[in-house]
């Protein structure tokens, strides 16, 4: 219940300890219209311990919190330091909180600042200088992830992947063109330029 409309979950009748989750990248982020798959396993000690989460990375690291190995670095999963409500609680935390946290905290508009210690550079010249190329690279890796998913969709989501890109593929291409123009397009009206944003020569190349 209460899942955001951009998060989908599939359960397995013969393995109630397993879940497969897919998230749709939000507009105005480097992950726009991308699909991101996670497998969750509930350990025998659940809910005293958090679920174990594996990210389908295809060997790509498009975010500081998501490793090529599939590890998801997040306080709520006890894979990163934290305190209070940031860490898993057997009485207060939930699977819904896990998936919503991954979508909101990881797939944001400026993933560069997710790197440990980099939050101190928000709105500073060095931070702004480094955040743009990081976001551009994250966008390129998101496009590569799309290609991997089209060739090797995760089991149980084959039709979902096809339908997603059948409906959103043209918008993905328009977004690519908008980045080449140095613009960002609005998700609902992908032909309209919503705001200007610099675009490096490296991204155009």
By annotation, the residues acting in catalysis are 73
**Which residues lie below 8 Å from residue 166, measured CB to CB, with a gap of 6+?**
none
Q: How many angstroms separate the Cα of 167 from the Cα of each of 147, 160, 161, 172, 186?
A: 15, 11, 10, 10, 16
Do residues 63 and 107 touch, judged by C-beta distance below 8 A? Answer: yes
* Residue 130 host element (H or E): helix 125-151
Which residues are registered as beta bridge partners of 54? 39, 71
Residues 144/174/159/43 CA torsion (nearest 10 deg): 50
């Amino acid at each position: 219940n209460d899942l955001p409309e951009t998060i989908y979950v599939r359960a397995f009748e013969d393995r109630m300890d397993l879940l497969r989750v897919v998230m749709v990248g939000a507009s105005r982020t480097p992950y726009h219209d991308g699909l991101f798959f996670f497998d969750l396993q509930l350990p025998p000690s659940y809910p005293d311990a958090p679920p174990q989460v594996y990210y389908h990375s295809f060997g790509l690291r498009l975010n500081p919190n998501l490793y090529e190995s599939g590890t998801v670095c997040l306080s709520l999963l006890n894979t990163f330091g934290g305190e209070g409500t940031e860490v898993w609680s057997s009485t207060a935390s939930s699977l819904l909180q896990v998936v919503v946290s991954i979508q909101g905290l990881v797939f944001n508009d400026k993933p560069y600042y997710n790197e440990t210690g980099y939050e101190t550079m928000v709105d500073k010249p060095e931070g702004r200088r480094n955040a743009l190329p990081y976001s551009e690279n994250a966008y390129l890796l998101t496009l590569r992830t799309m290609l991997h998913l089209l060739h090797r969709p995760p089991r149980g989501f084959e039709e979902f992947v096809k339908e997603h890109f059948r409906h959103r593929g043209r918008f993905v291409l328009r977004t690519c063109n908008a980045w080449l123009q140095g613009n960002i397009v609005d998700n609902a009206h992908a032909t309209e330029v919503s705001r200007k944003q610099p675009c490096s020569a490296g991204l155009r190349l």
